[in-house]
A and B are shown apart, each in its own frame.
Chain A
Amino acid sequence: RKEVEQDPGPFNVPEGATVAFNCTYSNSASQSFFWYRQDCRKEPKLLMSVYSSGNEDGRFTAQLNRASQYISLLIRDSKLSDSATYLCVVDNTPLVFGKGTRLSVIA
């Protein structure tokens, strides 16, 4: 199965900082892409889908570059509650997960 690679982290940032996560995927035929959030010992929860045109949801912006097979997630004005592991996920039916990047937002 093709792999999904992410920044290993951890990222330790102060509240209010902007932080960016990157991800690359190896299967050029992949069609759907997602960012999931996973809290410690909990299930993955869908954060947002990623579209070629880029998409934004509040403080979160996701970008997809199909030519480079690269996905990004930008979090602006980070909050303590954003502390979690962020999973880059590619839908090759089924979903293929990256190992995740851990984010700690510090007061």
Chain B
Amino acid sequence: EPEVTQTPSHQVTQMGQEVILRCVPISNHLYFYWYRQILGQKVEFLVSFYNNEISEKSEIFDDQFSVERPDGSNFTLKIRSTKLEDSAMYFCASNRLNYGYTFGSGTRLTVV
């Protein structure tokens, strides 16, 4: 079964540092997403990406966040200057229109 692959599985970073979370969506999927889940809380939408541009973003996705699809296969989430409250699981997902979403196994980001 095709998978969405995320790396790294766990990242520890110091407050104020930049991090890049990487995702390889399923190859024939056209829509890509980042979600996050703070420990003990619900899964929250960050951003959706289609046709090489952001199609929608939430209020969480402020100027410290950016996404990119640099080479046609990877889909990255960059957090420019991490804060303690950015500590969470970050899930990448992809889908084709009218089909279910497939989530990656997530990156646990710990900001210290």
Residues of chain A having any CB pair with chain B under 8 Å: 1, 34, 38, 41-46, 49, 87, 93-100
Query: Which chain B positions have C-beta within 8 A of A42?
Result: 105-106
Closest to A44 in B: B103
Rounded to whole Å, the gap between the CB of B34 and the closest CB of chain A is 10
Count of A-B contacts with CB under 8 A? 41
Give the chain A neighbours of B108 by CB distance below 8 A. 41
A43 to B94, CA, bound (A): 13
Question: Are B104's CB and A43's CB within 8 A?
Answer: yes
A87 CA to B41 CA, complexed, in Å: 12
Is A94 in contact with B33, judged by CB distance below 8 angstroms?
yes
A103 to B49, CA, bound (A): 33
B100 touching A44 by the CB < 8 A rule? no
Q: Which residues of A contact B33 (CB under 8 A)?
A: 94-95
Measured between C-beta atoms, what is the minimum distance from A34 to chain B in Å? 7
Q: Does B89 lie at the interface of the complex (its beta carbon under 8 Å from any beta carbon of A)?
A: yes
Q: Is the CB of A43 within 8 A of B105?
A: yes
Nearest-CB residue, chain B, relative to A43: B103
- Residue pair A1, B58 in contact (C-beta under 8 Å): yes
Contact A99:B42 (CB < 8 A) given known A1-B58, A41-B89: yes
Question: Can you identify 22 A-B contacts, CB atoms within 8 angstroms?
Answer: A34-B100, A41-B108, A42-B105, A42-B106, A43-B103, A43-B104, A43-B106, A44-B43, A87-B42, A94-B33, A94-B45, A94-B48, A94-B56, A95-B33, A95-B35, A95-B93, A96-B45, A97-B42, A97-B44, A98-B42, A99-B42, A100-B42
